[in-house]
C-alpha cells in the first residue's frame, strides 16, 4: 500500500509578515487554552474534597484530572452520592471512560447508581462493577436509562428476565423492528431504540445489554466479535446461541525474532454477511487497546477469518499481507504470523563532521563525532510549543528502553535556552542550543534530498556517519522508524513527502 504521490511544487509562499502573524495566532490559541485549563479542579481542591468526603485522594484525583472542565459536575455528584452510597459512588466513576468523565452529568450518574445498587450483593464485586454498574455498552452516547426501564417493566417481569435472560432477547426480537441499516445513528442510545421500537443489529444488541444490566443481569458485548452476552455462573453465553453454542480456537504463533502486537502490526477479522469485520479489543471510545481481553488463544465463533499483517515505513507506505482461514467448531487453528520484510536501500547522505553544539544552560560542548563513537545518534530540532513536537516526545518516551538497548544517543536541538524537561526520554539524551538552526543548515547540505522546514525535524545516523533516517513535520511512529533504520543490517531509504 502506497501513500498518494506528492504533488510537485513547494506550496504557497509565506512571507515573513505572514509567518509572524501565524505565530501570533498560535500563541493566542495557547493562551486561550491555558486560561481555560486554569479553571479546572486543582490538586489542592481535590485533596480538600477527599478529606471532606473521606475518600481516597489518588483515586479521586485520577478521576478529576480526566474530567477536565467537567470537574465541578463530578464534584456535585460526589457530594450527593458519597454520603448516601459510600465507596460505590466512586467506583461508578472509575469504570467510566475518559470521554464520559468530560461530559456526563450528575443526573445521569445518579440514575445508574440508584438503578444498579439493589443487585450489588448478588455478584462478585468485579462482575457487578464491570457488567452491571458500568453504564455504557459500546460507543453510544451515555445517558440515563435504568430508571426508565425499571419503571416500564414490572418487578415480576424483571425477575423473570433475570432468571432467564434469553426471554429478554426474545422480547426484543418480537417488539423491536429490525432495520437493515441507514437512517439511524450507528450507535443509538438504548432508550431511543426502545421508544422508536426499531433498530439495526447493533442497536438491538446495545438495548439487550442495557436492559439486562437494568434488571440485574451481568451482560456485555463480546470483546472478540461484538455479540451480546450474559454471564451464567462463570460462563459467558451468547444470546443468539445459548450455553451450547459452538466455539473454535485461534492460537496465535509469533515469529521467534518478531513479536506481533495487535492493531500495531497485525489484526483479525471475521466474515459476517459478506463483510470482514475486525475483532476490536478496544475499550469504551476505543481510546486504548484492551489487552485484558486479548490473548494468544482466542475462543471464537466458527467461520471464515482474515489475518492482516503490516509493516509501516517512515514515508507512510505499508507492506501488507492478507490471509483467509477457517475456524471449525471444537478445533484449534494454529495461526502463524509472518511479517513482510523491507529490502535494503541506499543511505540518505553522510553526516557532516566537526559539529559541536552547546549544552542548554551550560558551557559544555557536545561533539557529535564523539557521540557516534558510542553508538548511533538521532537529532531532533523541535519547537516545544507545537503539537507535532509533543507527539514526538511522547513517542520517544515510550521507546526509551529500546533506544537504550541500541545505545542510541538522542540530541534535542532548541533555538533558545528556554527550559525543557528531559524526564522519561532515553538515558543518553542531550539538550543543546542551535541558534538560527546553523547546524541544521549544515546537515541539510549533506542530504541527498532536502527536508522541509516544518518542525520537528529528525535526522539519525549510524556509527559510520551514514544518515539512515530523516523526517520533517508530523509523522506517525517516528521512534520505531528510527530504531528500525539504525538496527544492524537494515538500510531503509527515505521517500520524503
Instruction: State the cell numbers at 351.
Output: 553526516
Count of all residues that appear for the chain in the document? 497
Residue 115 exposed, middle or buried by CB count within 10 Å (0-12, 13-18, 19+): buried
C-alpha distances in angstroms, 387 versus 55, 454, 473?
A: 36, 12, 10
- Average pLDDT on 77-92 reads 95
Span of 204-213, 276-285, 315-324, 368-377 with lowest mean pLDDT: 276-285
Helix (H, G, I), strand (E, B) or coil at 242: coil
Note the pLDDT of residue 284. Answer: 61
Q: Which residues of 264-303 are buried (b: 16+ CB within 10 A; e: fewer)?
A: ebbbbbbeeeeeeeebbbbbbeeeebeeebbeeebebbbe
| pLDDT tens string 113-134 | 999 999 999 999 999 999 999 9
Stronger pLDDT, 298 or 209, i.e. the higher one? 209
Stronger pLDDT, 288 or 215, i.e. the higher one? 215
- Backbone phi and psi for residue 81, each to the nearest 5 degrees, phi listed first: -85, -40
Q: How many CB atoms lie within 10 A of CB 69?
A: 13
Confidence of residue 360 (pLDDT cuts 50, 70, 90): confident
Helix (H) or strand (E) holding 209: helix 201-214
Helix (H, G, I), strand (E, B) or coil at 20: helix
Q: Which residues of 248-259 are buried (b: 16+ CB within 10 A; e: fewer)?
A: bebebeeeeeee
Res 491 pLDDT > 50: no
Note the pLDDT of residue 194. Answer: 96
| pLDDT tens string 288-341 | 555 555 778 888 888 999 999 887 765 566 778 889 999 998 899 999 988 766
DSSP state of 121: G
Note the pLDDT of residue 345. Answer: 43
CB 263 within 8 A of CB 231: no
User: C-alpha 441: how far from its chain's center?
Assistant: 36
Note the pLDDT of residue 74. Answer: 97
The DSSP string of 263-296 is TTTEEEEEEETTEEEE---B-GGG-SB-TTS--S
- Backbone phi and psi for residue 142, each to the nearest 5 degrees, phi listed first: -75, 130
Single out the residue of 57, 116, 61, 58 nearest to residue 85, CA to CA: 116
Note the pLDDT of residue 489. Answer: 43
CB 461 within 8 A of CB 468: yes
Note the pLDDT of residue 296. Answer: 84
Report the alpha-carbon distance of residue 403 to residue 398 in Å, rounded.
Answer: 10
Single out the residue of 287, 329, 247 nearest to residue 101, CA to CA: 287
Estimate the crossing angle of helix 201-214 against helix 155-163, to 10 degrees: 110
- Rounded to two decimals, what is the model's pTM? 0.71
DSSP state of 57: H
Task: Say which residues have a Cβ less than 8 Å from residue 60's Cβ, sequence separation at least 6.
Answer: 46, 49, 50, 78, 90
CB 266 within 8 A of CB 309: yes
Res 208 pLDDT > 90: yes
Note the pLDDT of residue 282. Answer: 63
Domains of the chain as residue ranges with CATH: 43-183 (no CATH), 248-336 (2.60.40), 349-486 (3.40.30.10)
Query: What are the beta bridge partners of residue 72?
Result: none
Res 182 pLDDT > 90: no
Task: Say which residues have a Cβ less than 8 Å from residue 82's Cβ, sequence separation at least 6.
Answer: 53, 54, 55, 89, 90
- Average pLDDT on 223-246 reads 79
Beta-sheet pairing, 297-300 with 275-278: unpaired
DSSP state of 447: B
Confidence of residue 227 (pLDDT cuts 50, 70, 90): confident
Task: Say which residues have a Cβ less than 8 Å from residue 195's Cβ, sequence separation at least 6.
Answer: none
| pLDDT tens string 423-465 | 899 999 999 988 888 899 888 888 877 777 788 999 999 888 8
Instruction: State the cell numbers at 401.
Output: 528502553
Query: How many CA atoms within 13 Å lie on the side-chain side of 65?
Result: 9
Region of 354 (left: φ > 0; alpha: ψ -120 to 50; beta: rest) is: left
User: Residues of the chain with pLDDT > 90: what percent?
Assistant: 48
The DSSP string of 129-168 is IIIII----SSSPP---HHHHHHHS-HHHHHHHHH-HHHH
Report the alpha-carbon distance of residue 60 to residue 43 in Å, rounded.
Answer: 10
Res 497 pLDDT > 60: no
Span of 216-220, 237-241, 432-436 with lowest mean pLDDT: 237-241
Note the pLDDT of residue 496. Answer: 36
Helix (H, G, I), strand (E, B) or coil at 231: strand
Amino acid at each position: 500500500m502506497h501513500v498518494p504521490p506528492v504533488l510537485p511544487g513547494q506550496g504557497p509562499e509565506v512571507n515573513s509578515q505572514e509567518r509572524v502573524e501565524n505565530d501570533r495566532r498560535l500563541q493566542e490559541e495557547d493562551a486561550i487554552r491555558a486560561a481555560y485549563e486554569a479553571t479546572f479542579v486543582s490538586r489542592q481542591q481535590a485533596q480538600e474534597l477527599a478529606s471532606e468526603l473521606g475518600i481516597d485522594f489518588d483515586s479521586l484525583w485520577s478521576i478529576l484530572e480526566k474530567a477536565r472542565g467537567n470537574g465541578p459536575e463530578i464534584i456535585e455528584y460526589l457530594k450527593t452520592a458519597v454520603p448516601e452510597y459510600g465507596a460505590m459512588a466512586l467506583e461508578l466513576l472509575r469504570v467510566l471512560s475518559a470521554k464520559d468523565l468530560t461530559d456526563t452529568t450528575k443526573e445521569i450518574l445518579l440514575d445508574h447508581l440508584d438503578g444498579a445498587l439493589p443487585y450489588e450483593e448478588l455478584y462478585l464485586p468485579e462482575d457487578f462493577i464491570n457488567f452491571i454498574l458500568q453504564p455504557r455498552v459500546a460507543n453510544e452516547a451515555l445517558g440515563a436509562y435504568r430508571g426508565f426501564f425499571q419503571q416500564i417493566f414490572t418487578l415480576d417481569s424483571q425477575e423473570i428476565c433475570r432468571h432467564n435472560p434469553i426471554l429478554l432477547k426474545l422480547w426484543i426480537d418480537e417488539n423491536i423492528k429490525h432495520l437493515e441499516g441507514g437512517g439511524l445513528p450507528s450507535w443509538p442510545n438504548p432508550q431511543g431504540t426502545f421508544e422508536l421500537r426499531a433498530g439495526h443489529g447493533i442497536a438491538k444488541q446495545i438495548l439487550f445489554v442495557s436492559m439486562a444490566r437494568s434488571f440485574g443481569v451481568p451482560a456485555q458485548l463480546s470483546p472478540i466479535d461484538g455479540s451480546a452476552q450474559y454471564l451464567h455462573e462463570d460462563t459467558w453465553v451468547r444470546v443468539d446461541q445459548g450455553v451450547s453454542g459452538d466455539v473454535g480456537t485461534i492460537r496465535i504463533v509469533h515469529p521467534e525474532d518478531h513479536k506481533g502486537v495487535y492493531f500495531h502490526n497485525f489484526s483479525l477479522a471475521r466474515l459476517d454477511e459478506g463483510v470482514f469485520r475486525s475483532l476490536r479489543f478496544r475499550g469504551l471510545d476505543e481510546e486504548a487497546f484492551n489487552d485484558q481481553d486479548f490473548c494468544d488463544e482466542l475462543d471464537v465463533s466458527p467461520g471464515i477469518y482474515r489475518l492482516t499483517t503490516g509493516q509501516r515505513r517512515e514515508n507512510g507506505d505499508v507492506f501488507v499481507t492478507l490471509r483467509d482461514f477457517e475456524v471449525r467448531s471444537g478445533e484449534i487453528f494454529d495461526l502463524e504470523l509472518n511479517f513482510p520484510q523491507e529490502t535494503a536501500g541506499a543511505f540518505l547522505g553522510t553526516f557532516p563532521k566537526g559539529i559541536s553544539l552547546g549544552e542548554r544552560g551550560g558551557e559544555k560542548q557536545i561533539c557529535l563525532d564523539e557521540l557516534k563513537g558510542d553508538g548511533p545518534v538521532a537529532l531532533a530540532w523541535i519547537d516545544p510549543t507545537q503539537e507535532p513536537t509533543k507527539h514526538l516526545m511522547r513517542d520517544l518516551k515510550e521507546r526509551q528502553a529500546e533506544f537504550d538497548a541500541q545505545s542510541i544517543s538522542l540530541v534535542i536541538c532548541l533555538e533558545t535556552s528556554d527550559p525543557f524537561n528531559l524526564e522519561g526520554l532515553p538515558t543518553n539524551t542531550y539538550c543543546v542550543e542551535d541558534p538560527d538552526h546553523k547546524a541544521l543548515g549544515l546537515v541539510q547540505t549533506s542530504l541527498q534530498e532536502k527536508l522541509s522546514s516544518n518542525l520537528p525535524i529528525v535526522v539519525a545516523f549510524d556509527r559510520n556517519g551514514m544518515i539512515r533516517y530523516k523526517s520533517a513535520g508530523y509523522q506517525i511512529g517516528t521512534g520505531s522508524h528510527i530504531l528500525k533504520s539504525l538496527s544492524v543490517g537494515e538500510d531503509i531509504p527515505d521517500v520524503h513527502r
